[in-house]
Amino acid sequence: MTMLIILRIIKYDPLVILRRSFMKRIVIFTILIALALGAQESAFTLDWCIDRALEANYGLSMRREEALRSEWSFRSSLSSFMPAASTRFSWSRSGDDRVSYGETGLIVSRDHYSTGFSASQTLFSGGRNILNTKSARLARDISRENLSDREAELIYNVKGAFFSVIRSKESAENAKASLERIEDQYILVLERDRHGLADPTEITQIKVSRAQAELAVIQADNALAKAKESLAMLLSLPLDSDFDLIDSGTYADAPTLLGEQIRIALENSPQIRQAELAVKRAHLSMMSTWTQYIPGVNASYSYSWSGSQWPDDLSAFDDQASWSAGISASWTLFAGTSRIAGIQTANSQLRDAETNLKLVRQSLEGAVRDAFRRMEEARARIALADARLDDAKLNEELFSEKYGLGDCTLLELLQAELSLRQAETEAVNANFDYNIAIAELYRLTGSLEY
């Protein structure tokens, strides 16, 4: 009974109640913080998207593995400068006794043992091993440049997908705003029709406009969903991921001088460096074909032992073993037309590599010029689109008021609405094209900046 009274006192103690209330608030506050953090995690910035893609993109991971394989291939080429050595051991037992002669006389045994060791070293190969190692190093460097090029391309693709989501989101918002205006116009037409002020064709016209606006909303939502899926693929996220983007409105600075961008691209582009390394590698391959006319020199050593009994000490190996050491030289005097064909093929590949370098330089310069011009055009389009958008908004408001007063036709109002939608679309597209052109310039110049 006393314990029950104490428990009741504790249960209704103000301090206990206060502590429980405080703990409840702590729990609720923690849950709200967790929800807020979760909401922040689903809102991505451009920098976060690029970092995520560079870390988790499946295609880039495969390129990294390819670069790693080329590194090990280069290390493998160094083995041509090292000796090759091997050892062996065997044991066998026969069904009948074997008689052999040893230091202690006749030995009768069914067992047979043997062991041996051999080593060889290439002393001279006409420089073929040196050229092969240099070629493997160039192949590794080409793979690294290819990886850098893929990273720059991935950054460009992420930027394009990011800006595409922003554009699709703005287009969806504009489509919904247009539908709301059409709904208001629809109500206004019905009100005028009830008072006998509307033309019979206005009812059908506004219904068509409303249906078109509803379709535009669906199409805009689908375009937004598709753009998000494209970005999710680049980020290696599930395609049904629900996320939002934080549009800071300010991104990479716009280049100002075309000549400077061309110079940077020709100096820093991974595509140029790959082509230059390919020329060097083709030159080494051509030189390597001439080593077929040079003799090769090798050194070798071998040791072997066999017997019916395994020796008790190491001295028995020296007494009963055999060994040999020597130097050999080989020289191909005639191999038909294969060597001449190999030389001519290597020369042709070298000319192809040199021509490809010129082509890459020309194509890169043309791409930089084109991207720079598109950037300038997009910048001018932005100013024009903003002016047209302001004008279209004023016209839509003006014709909406006029139609309410009966001073214009519904067709004129719908034309003003259409002009506003077109101006909104052009403003969104101009900003998108401007950001894409800048991103392409950064990609062509080999810049990994965001």
pLDDT tens, residue by residue, 179-188: 999 999 999 8
Residue 100's pLDDT is 65
Q: What is the pLDDT of residue 276?
A: 96
134: tokens are 């240099």
Check residue 101 and give its pLDDT. Answer: 59
Q: Is 94 in contact with 112 (CB distance < 8 Å)?
A: yes
As a dihedral over the C-alpha atoms of residue 254, residue 256, residue 258, residue 261, rounded to 10 degrees, the angle is -60
Read off the pLDDT of each residue in 315-338 and give the average, rounded to a whole number. Answer: 83
pLDDT at 108: 64
Identify the CA nearest to 304 among candidates 122, 121, 119, 123: 119
Q: Over 80: is that where the pLDDT of 21 sits?
A: no
Lowest mean pLDDT among 58-62, 149-153, 305-309: 305-309
pLDDT digits (tens, 9 = 90+) for 186-201: 998 998 888 888 788 8
Residues of the chain with pLDDT > 90, as a percent, come to 62
* Beta-sheet pairing, 244-245 with 43-44: parallel
Question: Is residue 92 helix, strand or coil?
Answer: strand
In this prediction the pTM is: 0.79
| Cβ contact 384:427 at 8 Å | no
335 class by beta-carbon count within 10 Å (0-12 exposed, 13-18 middle, 19+ buried): exposed
Tens-place pLDDT, residues 397-439: 999 889 888 888 888 999 999 999 999 999 999 999 999 999 9
Q: In the beta sheet, which residues pair with residue 109?
A: 98
Least confident of 31-40, 153-162, 385-394: 31-40
Rounded to 10°, the helix 128-194/58-77 angle is 180
More confident residue, 68 or 335: 68
pLDDT, one tens digit per residue, over 99-136 is: 665 555 566 677 788 889 999 999 988 889 999 999 99
